[in-house]
Chains A and B, each alone.
Chain A
Amino acid sequence: MKRLNIITGHYGSGKTEFAINYALRLKEVFGSATICDMDIVNPYFRTYDASGFLTQSGIKVIAPEYAGTNLDLPSLPSDIFSVFADRSAAAVLDVGGDEDGAIALGQYYPHIKQEDYDMFMVVNTKRPDTADAESIIRLAREIQAVSRCKITAIVNNANLSYLSGKDDFIGSFKVLDEVSQKLSVPVKYIAGSPEILAQLDTETEKFPMQLFMQLPFDAFA
């Protein structure tokens, strides 16, 4: 695991769930971790929503001042620069969806390029706009163009939310193998719930995730 990790992808790909889970793992490996909510696209369902849990888990959360409020300002906090100033600390940058969200990364490129980072592209092939290799490759190129950063790994996160099952991954392997070959980027993880991942026979490293984005009617809390 590298110390600087950027999470990108199509909106609704599961970026935020992956980012939160990756931050938890970084904390285990590096002893500390920071997660930056850099979403300038989504008004709801973002890393900031899990900030209570993350803070309790010892993870530092950097989020826009107005995240989770009634204001819709696509501003990013200056605290984000602390991630680049202290290169001993592990960090996850949870970037907004698509090339629109990835634009926010561009301004940090001069800092990012100075070190060896990982940039994950999370892909859910059950999202109609990223269901085939051609669309995923186009999106990957758009994200790279606006962010000026290079995608270093693909995360297969095929899922249908609460109807998820192992069948969601049918077809995703072939599609992402093609993406992987054409972009010369490995599929590093296959991400999903531990129960579903246990049913899959794959050589790709499994990345079991706990889910954090909840709907108000999901559970009786």
Chain B
Amino acid sequence: MGNKVLMKGNEALAEAAIRAGCRHFFGYPITPQTEVSAYMAKKMPKIGGTFLQAESEVSAINMVYGAGGAGVRVMTSSSSPGISLKQEGISYIAGADVPCVIVNIVRGGPGLGGIQPAQSDYFQATKGGGHGDYHLVVLAPSSIQEMVDLTADAFDIGDKYRCPVMIMGDGMLGQMMEPVEFKDTDVSDLPEKEWATSGTGMKRKKNIINSLFIEASELEDLVLERQQRYDEIIKNEVRYEAIDTEGADIILVAYGTTARIAKTAMAKAKELGYKVGIIRPITLWPFPFEAFEKALSSGTKKTFLSVEMSMGQMVEDVRLAVNGRADVEFFGRTGGIVPTPKEILAKIVEIGGAK
């Protein structure tokens, strides 16, 4: 308790990045993410770091590409329309195996959409967004404490597998305030990045950061090698929270703020006699298929209810995970509307029948 402070999601995320050794931030303001940039603008000059407000999101992501290629811990943040602009750069970064952290504090879309919270960038984050055979590791916190903890992990995962990592929070997480504690992290002795273009010192062969390959076979070899790293990520980095799934008739599936609203609905449904559990994916990619296997192994008939601030995006992964072995239902609000516990309860009652 003693070390807890009260912070807004966006500023806590920025502080966590600094504590994780991030000294380079390139961004462009957009609601509801702007406080990340504003915090970095204030803090970076004081700690010898670099904050640069680029002329656009396209520039910012390419600055990230350059800094990441030079081996430093680097981050950019934006919100939905800005993340769309960054997609070309993200694909290049993935294609050049450059670690970096990209934050998306999601707002309503498509198009300019609106500034209220949403989760409608799920497809974009988990299924590509940019072109080519690549994945982003996508981390989806549901509290500000988890956002802080996952920010440190995001830099470690990126460095370990040489890949871009996205932290995806909805606007509510960016804007709300919660008590948070920063764990002591020692980043003074991070593993050396032998591939980085940090200067040869006339002692080694030069490193090249590139995503263009003249020979198709060379490109295929690299994509296949990268796929093996993705397989390692799938094996090692899946994260989720599962509560009361084994005895449940209805299993809610929700992430981020929506998971917390779903838990409020779950508690009320239990009071009314419904057997309800929840699977909360923390990694959206890799998706926690294992949680579904465990839930399905109990043998009783189950219905999975995907609850989203989008029009049925994650539900596609839920269907893949369930693979016809149980019913899958969907409830979502969109356009910046946050679902209420009452609405989710009504859907639970609709599925479970009146009691």
Contact A221:B340 (CB < 8 A) given known A42-B175, A161-B177:
yes
A197 to chain B, nearest CB (A): 18
B-side interface residues, number (CB < 8 Å) = 38
Chain A residues with CB below 8 A from B179, complex form: 126, 160-163
Contact A44:B32 (CB < 8 A) given known A72-B115, A163-B179, A217-B264:
yes
Please tell me if the beta carbons of B6 and A12 are within 8 angstroms of each other in the complex. Answer: yes
Chain B 106-122 residues near chain A, CB threshold 8 A:
108, 113-117
A163, closest chain B residue (CB): B179
Asked if B325 is an interface residue, CB under 8 A from chain A, the answer is no
Please tell me if the beta carbons of B4 and A163 are within 8 angstroms of each other in the complex. Answer: yes
Please tell me if the beta carbons of A161 and B336 are within 8 angstroms of each other in the complex. Answer: no
Contact A216:B338 (CB < 8 A) given known A44-B32, A44-B175, A161-B177:
yes
Contact A128:B31 (CB < 8 A) given known A216-B338, A217-B260:
no
Q: Is the interface of A mostly helix, strand, loop or mixed?
A: loop
Contact A220:B268 (CB < 8 A) given known A71-B115, A163-B4, A167-B1:
yes
Q: Mark B114-143, 1 if CB is under 8 A from A, else 0.
A: 111100000000000000000000000000
Please tell me if the beta carbons of B6 and A220 are within 8 angstroms of each other in the complex. Answer: no
Please tell me if the beta carbons of B1 and A12 are within 8 angstroms of each other in the complex. Answer: no
Chain B residues with CB below 8 A from A44, complex form: 32, 116-117, 171-172, 175-176
B271 to chain A, nearest CB (A): 9
A217, closest chain B residue (CB): B260
Q: Mark A186-221, 1 if CB is under 8 A from B, else 0.
A: 000000000000000000000000000001111111
User: In the complex, which of the residues A45, A70, A216 contacts B113, with contact meaning CB atoms closer than 8 Å?
Assistant: A70
Asked if A8 is an interface residue, CB under 8 A from chain B, the answer is no
Please tell me if the beta carbons of B115 and A221 are within 8 angstroms of each other in the complex. Answer: no
Please tell me if the beta carbons of A70 and B114 are within 8 angstroms of each other in the complex. Answer: yes
A-side interface residues, number (CB < 8 Å) = 28
Bound Cα distance from A221 to B113, whole angstroms: 28
Asked if B178 is an interface residue, CB under 8 A from chain A, the answer is yes
Bound Cα distance from A159 to B179, whole angstroms: 9
Asked if A34 is an interface residue, CB under 8 A from chain B, the answer is no
Chain B 151-175 residues near chain A, CB threshold 8 A:
171-172, 175
Asked if A76 is an interface residue, CB under 8 A from chain B, the answer is no
Asked if B263 is an interface residue, CB under 8 A from chain A, the answer is yes
B177 to chain A, nearest CB (A): 5
A66, closest chain B residue (CB): B115
Asked if A11 is an interface residue, CB under 8 A from chain B, the answer is yes
Asked if B261 is an interface residue, CB under 8 A from chain A, the answer is yes
Please tell me if the beta carbons of A127 and B5 are within 8 angstroms of each other in the complex. Answer: yes
B25 to chain A, nearest CB (A): 18
A128, closest chain B residue (CB): B5
Bound Cα distance from A42 to B341, whole angstroms: 25
Please tell me if the beta carbons of B5 and A217 are within 8 angstroms of each other in the complex. Answer: no
Asked if B206 is an interface residue, CB under 8 A from chain A, the answer is no
Asked if A144 is an interface residue, CB under 8 A from chain B, the answer is no
Bound Cα distance from A170 to B324, whole angstroms: 57
Q: Mark B87-115, 1 if CB is under 8 A from A, else 0.
A: 00000000000000000000010000111
B144, closest chain A residue (CB): A161
Q: Mark A92-129, 1 if CB is under 8 A from B, else 0.
A: 00000000000000000000000000000000101110
User: In the complex, which of the residues A70, A216, A221 contacts B336, with contact meaning CB atoms closer than 8 Å?
Assistant: A70
Bound Cα distance from A87 to B175, whole angstroms: 36
Chain A 29-80 residues near chain B, CB threshold 8 A:
42-45, 69-72
Asked if A137 is an interface residue, CB under 8 A from chain B, the answer is no
Please tell me if the beta carbons of A12 and B177 are within 8 angstroms of each other in the complex. Answer: yes
Chain A residues with CB below 8 A from B313, complex form: none
Asked if A89 is an interface residue, CB under 8 A from chain B, the answer is no
Please tell me if the beta carbons of A131 and B5 are within 8 angstroms of each other in the complex. Answer: yes
Bound Cα distance from A162 to B338, whole angstroms: 21
Chain B residues with CB below 8 A from A221, complex form: 340-342
Please tell me if the beta carbons of B264 and A43 are within 8 angstroms of each other in the complex. Answer: no
Bound Cα distance from A215 to B340, whole angstroms: 10
Please tell me if the beta carbons of A216 and B116 are within 8 angstroms of each other in the complex. Answer: no
Chain A 150-184 residues near chain B, CB threshold 8 A:
159-163, 167
Bound Cα distance from A159 to B15, whole angstroms: 20
Please tell me if the beta carbons of B342 and A217 are within 8 angstroms of each other in the complex. Answer: no
B263, closest chain A residue (CB): A217
Please tell me if the beta carbons of A128 and B7 are within 8 angstroms of each other in the complex. Answer: yes
Asked if B275 is an interface residue, CB under 8 A from chain A, the answer is no
Give me 22 A-to-B residue pairs in the complex whose CB atoms sit less than 8 angstroms apart, sorted by A's number: A12-B177, A44-B116, A44-B171, A44-B172, A44-B175, A70-B108, A70-B115, A71-B115, A126-B5, A127-B5, A127-B7, A128-B15, A159-B6, A160-B179, A161-B178, A167-B1, A216-B257, A216-B338, A216-B339, A217-B263, A219-B341, A220-B264
Q: A44-B117, A163-B1, A219-B264 are in contact. List 9 more A-B contacts (CB 8 A).
A: A43-B32, A126-B6, A162-B178, A162-B179, A215-B176, A216-B257, A217-B257, A217-B261, A218-B264
- Which 6 A-B pairs rank lowest in CB-CB distance, beginning with the nearest? A70-B114, A217-B260, A160-B179, A217-B261, A72-B31, A163-B179
Residue ranges of A at the interface with B (Cβ–Cβ < 8 Å)? 11-12, 42-45, 69-72, 124, 126-128, 131, 159-163, 167, 215-221
